[in-house]
Amino acid sequence: MFSFRRSVSLLAVISLVSFGALAQSTGSSSNPPAQDQTQPQAPAATQSEQGPATVQARIRARREARRAQAIHDTYAHLYEVFVGGGYQRFTPGPDLQRATMYSWDAAISRYWSEKLGLTFEGRGNYGTAFVGLNETSVTRPSISHYDVLVGPTYRFRLRPRYSIAGSVKGGVAISNFASDTNGFGTAVLGLYPDGTTYAFNASVIGEVNVTPNLSLRLAPEYMATGFGSTLQNDLGFTYGFVYRFGRQ
């Protein structure tokens, strides 16, 4: 009887030990698959974060490429022709008030790059000088002068729709102040004598593009001339149309 109880107890202990070992082995064998399932999810999360950034980068790259191509199509022309008019406050004599001068203006530019070119310009300026009361009957003679200028033009801001440039030109100015003095001459009326002198021009050029070949221009400017062996410092602006042609 004692032997039978002893055998049953021993068998129960062995069964409990075997069941515990089996449960431990089963739990340890089930853990690795759970770890294997979590490992592939980390790269997936990284790709989901990088995906939108990559798409945005491609969109920005395509946008910049289109913008660069539009700038090239607009400013890679070999020649540029300007036709328009102008306005200037001009000093016609050493002691006279400034006269308003209206002008025609024509220029052609040759470009060696999208930014740098050389401009040849010609203009005629016309106005009326107020000379005041004098011994003649002439108080408001018509005056004019003509300018021939050449110099570099540089575009320092390029956009598909507009550009901003600067230009510095030098040349000669030819006056016609005596033609409307009824033969009294310029000295009596206080005008500068007729002659040919130097001319200097500096301008800031703004252009709005209508098409890659056609644009509208407005250019505030400073003009210096040397009539009467003195220096005239005059301000004004030009405006008009620009047509581009030829390919660099």
Tens-digit pLDDT profile for residues 151-206: 999 999 999 999 999 999 999 999 999 999 988 889 999 999 999 999 999 999 99
Long-range contacts of 213-216 (CB under 8 A, 24+ apart): 213/77, 213/243, 213/244, 213/245, 214/241, 214/242, 214/243, 214/244, 215/163, 215/241, 215/242, 215/244, 216/240, 216/241, 216/242
Average pLDDT, the chain: 85
Mean pLDDT lowest among 62-71, 194-203, 204-213: 62-71
pLDDT > 70 fraction of the chain, expressed in percent and rounded = 79
Q: Could you tell me which of 132, 231, 239 has the C-alpha nearest to residue 189?
A: 132
Q: How far is CA 200 from CA 42, 158, 171, 195, in A?
A: 70, 26, 6, 16
Average pLDDT value for residue range 65-80: 89
82 — pLDDT class (breaks 50, 70, 90):
very high
23 — pLDDT class (breaks 50, 70, 90):
very low
Is the sign of the CA dihedral 184, 187, 189, 191 positive or negative?
A: positive
pLDDT > 90 fraction of the chain, expressed in percent and rounded = 65
Is the sign of the CA dihedral 22, 23, 26, 28 positive or negative?
A: negative
Give this prediction's pTM. 0.74
Buried-state track 190-206, b at ≥16 Cβ within 10 A, e below 16: ebbebeebebbbebebb
**Burial degree of 5 (CB within 10 A; 0-12, 13-18, 19+):** exposed
- Chain center to CA of 229: 39
At residue 70, does pLDDT exceed 90? no
pLDDT value at position 58? 80
2 — pLDDT class (breaks 50, 70, 90):
very low
Q: What is the DSSP string of 38-97?
A: HTTHHHHHHHHHHHHHHHHHHHHHHHHHHHHHHHHHHH-EEEEEEEEEEEEEE--STTSP
At residue 132, does pLDDT exceed 70? yes
pLDDT value at position 33? 47
68 — pLDDT class (breaks 50, 70, 90):
confident
Q: What's the rounded Cα separation, in Å, for the pair 88 and 90?
A: 6
pLDDT value at position 9? 55
At residue 144, does pLDDT exceed 70? yes
pLDDT in tens, 83-125: 999 999 999 999 999 999 999 999 999 999 999 999 999 999 9
pLDDT value at position 14? 53
At residue 46, does pLDDT exceed 60? no
Q: Could you tell me which of 123, 67, 130 has the C-alpha nearest to residue 237?
A: 123
